Amino acid sequence: MSDTLGKDVVTDSKQSEAMRLLKDCADHLPGIMPDHWIREQAQNQDMIEPFIDGQVRYVDEEKIISYGLSSYGYDARLADEFMIFTNVDNALVDPKNFSEKSFVERKGDVCVIPPNSFVLCRTVEYFKIPKDALVICLGKSTYARCGLIVNVTPLEPGWEGHVTLEISNTTPLPAKVYANEGVCQFLFFKGSSACDVTYGDRGGKYMGQKGVTLPRT
């Protein structure tokens, strides 16, 4: 019996070592990255700050739109700073000559987006993207099913900052969004190697942005 137990222990040890080696190899292969890679990068490389290790669905026993680490992504929170699009001054939207008169600023736990309009806002989290990763953002399904579309361009290798979000209300009715709750999910794609020139290397105009950032030329 003792010989059998000893063989079982050796077999279990070999299987555990094999699983560890497979996990280490997977962390160095290109593709979409899992929760343990996101956790390691956030905790050891400050990739996401603040970082929530797991999904938060309730606050003070009240159900919220979830945020935090998921299986293959990270659900970020909406900050309480909003810039609501308005045409009260008949301003022209020109990305090469952008006017702040196109927006009114609001701060609070809730923002009401006018019908067929949009709001600029940002994530609570500050991101630092590794040099060998590209990050894609998708809106939370709760908002998508209400006709609210979250639009974010990819977070490029070497970029860092708060992520400025554009939330469009595609409905003919006013729509609410909630600060300090989940708003979108970030998916992390790792390349086969680090790129030669990062976003920071080429002096990207949105590098290190904090708060809600308007278009720059």
Q: How deeply is 63 buried, as exposed, middle or buried, from its count of CB atoms within 10 A (0-12, 13-18, 19+)?
A: exposed
pTM of this prediction?
A: 0.85
Contact 138, 32 (CB under 8 A): no
Active-site amino acid positions: 166
Lookup: tokens for 197:
């020139």
CA 139 distance to own-chain centroid: 9
Mean pLDDT for the stretch of residues 129-158: 96
Distance CA 130, CA 204 (A): 15
Regarding the domain delimited by 33-190, which CATH topology (the fold level of the hierarchy) does it fall under? Deoxyuridine 5'-Triphosphate Nucleotidohydrolase; Chain A (2.70.40)
3-state secondary structure of 104: strand
* Cis peptide bond prior to 50, omega within 30° of 0: yes
Residue 21 pLDDT grade (very low, low, confident, very high; cuts 50, 70, 90)? low
CA 128 distance to own-chain centroid: 11
Per-residue pLDDT tens digits for 38-54: 999 999 999 999 999 99
3-state secondary structure of 82: strand
C-alpha neighbours within 13 Å on the C-beta side of residue 29: 9
Residue 190 pLDDT grade (very low, low, confident, very high; cuts 50, 70, 90)? very high
Per-residue pLDDT tens digits for 161-181: 999 999 999 999 999 999 999
Q: For the chain, which residues make up each domain, given as ranges?
A: 1-29, 33-190
Please give the span between the terminal C-alpha atoms of the chain, in angstroms, as a whole number. 76
Q: For the ranges 57-71, 73-87, 95-109, 167-181, which has the lowest average pLDDT?
A: 95-109
5 pLDDT higher than 70: no
Per-residue pLDDT tens digits for 104-134: 999 999 999 999 999 999 999 999 999 999 9
C-alpha neighbours within 13 Å on the C-beta side of residue 125: 24
DSSP letter at 50?
Answer: S
